[in-house]
Structure 1
């Protein structure tokens, strides 16, 4: 059973409605800037409950979703066409898609480098991949964000590990855990998968919460 099955109802009915309104950590701004308007299908890897589908559609794309969690997909299917599947083994032929997105999910994937290789496989040359994720340098079990004015960075950033350690008991990491990828490891995985970087964005203030990457399949 996918770990998110156990928290899907809480995620949909409590966590999302309780989130700060607007775009405080820059997720929507990053999607708009890095994906840009387009046509045709865009596949969201780890789509969860499908909360980003409306924005993808607003940009002209036809959103599709894949996720391992059956319970999360019961909510997502109300928002976009979905399939249960592993992002490291997509049931899609080589070079079939023009765009993929992964939004706030890379720390949920134990082998994100394999996900990137699979994304490159199913993208056509020149296709766009948009990654929006927690910032590797300022978010993780090593980062205490309880004071919004000053993030405290403790030892652990360079280790790269899975943890449930969190500065808050109201979030996702303390419930399902997260895998930490130091910045060089994360960026190196993009290059190893065959992507060329196009643009980077950071979101959140005063210390960034998200790091977003726009990449192109070479």
Structure 2
């Protein structure tokens, strides 16, 4: 049992509904960066499958993988799912046209390894879209209790796992979060062999979300 199994029902019934109006604009970022297409789109760390509709809207077929059986219990009604680790995907190499990671990189202590796996399973020319909390303005070092004046304290340059959170209404005080400074996060994409194409930010007035589209080169 994972920490996420323990909070799966709360996540589904209390946390996910706060996303419906998309105040952080991660739905907008996903729509603009993923774009229209057909064929399967794998979501890493799909959780309860709350983003399946956003993946399906532009014509793609969502598939999900997650380590939490409790989360997948909810997700199974929304998309085909498999229980598995994003760092060791049960998928053949070079077969998927698209992979996405939506608001989960802070849940993955080994996110660089997950990026390498995403690159492995992508077909040449396939796209990878990351939508995640902004590493410069979110984390244990950031006090966001007043969104108009986010206070950044020492700690941004220190990667690692923390339970520290400015709010008791989210995930971080319950399951913790990993932090990668911006150079390490972007560098992991390059090291995975993916090529950046576009970027986006979401949330106001200080961005809460940083997103990008990268592509696996055609050989």
The answer to whether the superposition gives a TM-score over 0.5 is yes
Separation of aligned partners in 2, 1:3 and 1:184: 29
CA displacement, residues 79-130 of structure 1 (integer Å, 9 cap, x when unaligned): 0010000011111111010100000000000100000000000001110000
Separation of aligned partners in 1, 2:112 and 2:70: 25
**Equivalent pairs, count:** 217
Separation of aligned partners in 2, 1:95 and 1:82: 19
Q: Which residue pairs with 2:70 in the alignment?
A: 71
Q: TM-score, normalised by structure 2?
A: 0.97
Q: Which residue pairs with 1:165 in the alignment?
A: 164
Q: Which residue pairs with 1:11 in the alignment?
A: 11
Give 1:2 shift: 2.2
| Residue segments in structure 2 that go unaligned for 5+ positions in a row | none
TM alignment of 1:24-173, pairs within 5 A: 24-173=23-172
Give 1:136 shift: 0.2
Separation of aligned partners in 2, 1:133 and 1:4: 18
CA displacement, residues 10-47 of structure 1 (integer Å, 9 cap, x when unaligned): 10111122x16412111111111110010000000000
Separation of aligned partners in 1, 2:19 and 2:117: 33
Separation of aligned partners in 1, 2:202 and 2:54: 17
Q: TM-score, normalised by structure 1?
A: 0.98
Separation of aligned partners in 1, 2:20 and 2:99: 26
Separation of aligned partners in 2, 1:124 and 1:21: 32
Separation of aligned partners in 2, 1:51 and 1:21: 10
Give 1:179 shift: 0.2
Separation of aligned partners in 1, 2:85 and 2:166: 30
| 3-state SS in 1 of match to 2:184 | helix
RMSD of aligned residue pairs (Cα, Å): 0.8
| Residue segments in structure 1 that go unaligned for 5+ positions in a row | none
Q: Which residue pairs with 2:197 in the alignment?
A: 198
